[in-house]
Structure 1
């Protein structure tokens, strides 16, 4: 692989105004405040810059990692090699009739609030999901009876070789916490949601209810990566962990939440290694007690 300084110079020659950071601490870009350094950290401001970066790394066989807000991710303490792209500048939100157009880096919470302000119903479930639109599409995010799959009608993506493609209904391959975006490692540029006209007071009441449920049940007072495990068939991950007596179990600064067993919280300067060791301990214990394999929902990335 090319030297990091040479990669930076190549990209700056192609894109003189591009923001590039070398050896960036990725703990600054994750909700759990852990993770090592990223070799080359870039924040493209538009689709032209993003496409140019993707084509360059593809041609030069440089590893590429895309980050949103880092809400559902654990980056290993060894960090990430190659190029890391943050899509936080892709944060536009606009409304056209019953459709909301959003950049992949926009907060899905902000999109749901925009829907409320225009009297559009269908995104109330997303009012408490802390991630970006891109992350919500990748994971087919859902809560309180709603899912992204119910409202998404199109999305612009860039594939691994740098081609810009628009996907439409019927092409998303949505499943439980899965999608074509995840399967193909597409880079999501934007999304279009189709909603229905509704009563603003009823929409707000539903959002207030969902917010209350979230705040009363989830350990929002500590950094966390959200629900750590997927829901196993016929079970609830949190209930299995709770019934295994694991709440309050701590490794280093990472702890199985005493408020919601499905969360692992950073209570005392945890490292990613603390998190990963605790995840393995939880999986092993639940398997021994109930014979159930817990699969991680959180995305674990980084150099071995």
Structure 2
């Protein structure tokens, strides 16, 4: 481990730390330490880091802004790679938008809307970064990433990077090919937007953002939606219907605002959150006969 740490320190520009608490890097403010934590500044730094990681057969995990993520209390084995400011590059040429995986989704939606480009208004209230949004086909307000993605630059487990087209991504509701069938991590994305009337685009974006703030606990530490909607039902409504809105376990609470959000209300642990998730699953299944599936990604030592 020490050899890998030293080689990474020498190989890349950017942050390289040992035993970095991941609670500092998740929107839920929960998570134990990473054996090694790195934040490369460029794609070339990432390539160099992957050469070291793969050659030493180290386990590795990529996080973005740490939303839609629950990290175990015992942390994550191996190397954790965070796409930070160095991966927040942006290039807009006519209607094609090329953007790094680390770009915050809300900031991106705001920026392009104000320039009169439509297509990302649905994302104006979605926390997280571009990479995670593409990985899970994030969506809201009857739209999603699949509707605008041209192609994505993917980092695969063997350290190689390739472009995948929209069709090759095999998008469906909150999923892509990268989650199970062909594991990989989004490094960059190219979106196709549409020029339109700036005032109307901004108005849609602001209305979507306002709706999120009125209905979801945006100012509390949380990971976003916990469960996928078992369409045509909605997970939040099912959880509310079985009386679990506001229910607490340890320092974690099912949000009183929205049943599909769990907030870190008082120094919650990952075990607190996992307990609430299981309780919600069991209760909804018993009373409604519907099996809830998690949307939040649960990672780390078991």
- Structure 1 CA distance for aligned equivalents of residues 25 and 294 of structure 2: 20
Alignment of 1:107-186 (within 5 A): 107-183=104-180, 184-186=182-184
Is 1:44 the equivalent of 2:35? no
Q: Offset of 1:12 from its aligned partner?
A: 2.8
> Which whole-Å CA distance do the structure 2 matches of 1:175 and 1:77 have between them?
31
Q: CA deviation at 1:243?
A: 0.7
Q: Supply the distance in 1 between the matched residues of 2:262 and 2:68 (Cα, whole angstroms).
A: 12
Deviation readout 1:42-89 (Å, 9 max, x if unpaired): 001111221222232222221101000011000010100100000112
* Partners of 1:75 and 1:232 in 2: CA distance: 24
Judge conservation of contact 1:144–1:210 (CA < 8 Å) in 2: yes
Give a deviation string over 1:97-116, Cα, whole Å, max 9, x none: 11111000001112212211
Cα distance between partner residues in 2 of 1:259 and 1:12 = 44
Q: TM-score normalised to the size of structure 2? A: 0.96
Matched with 2:237 is 239
Once residues 13 and 107 of structure 1 are traced to their aligned partners in structure 2, the CA distance between those partners, rounded to angstroms, is 29
Q: Which residue in 2 is equivalent to 1:69? A: 65
SS at match of 2:30: coil
**TM-score under structure 1 length normalisation:** 0.96
Cα distance change of structure 1 residues 202 and 6 upon mapping to structure 2, 3 Å threshold: same
1:8 aligns with 2:10: no
State yes or no: 1:54 paired with 2:38. no
What secondary structure is seen at the aligned counterpart in 2 of 1:247?
Answer: coil
Contact kept? 1:24, 1:41, Cα under 8 Å: yes
Given that 1:137 and 1:181 are in contact with CA atoms closer than 8 Å, whether structure 2 keeps it comes out as no
Matched residue, 1:211? 209
Per-residue Cα deviation, 1:150-205 (whole angstroms, up to 9, x for no partner) = 00101111211122211223211001111123232212111111111100000011
Structure 1 CA distance for aligned equivalents of residues 220 and 185 of structure 2: 30
CA contact (8 A) 1:154 1:166 kept: yes
In structure 2, the partner of 1:99 is: 96
Seen in structure 2, the aligned counterparts of structure 1 residues 223 and 171 have a Cα distance that, compared at 3 Å, is same
| Partner Cα distance (1:126, 1:156) in 2 | 20
Measure the CA separation in 1 of the matches of 2:177 and 2:48: 23
Count of residue correspondences: 300
Among 228, 231, 236, the residue aligned to 1:230: 228
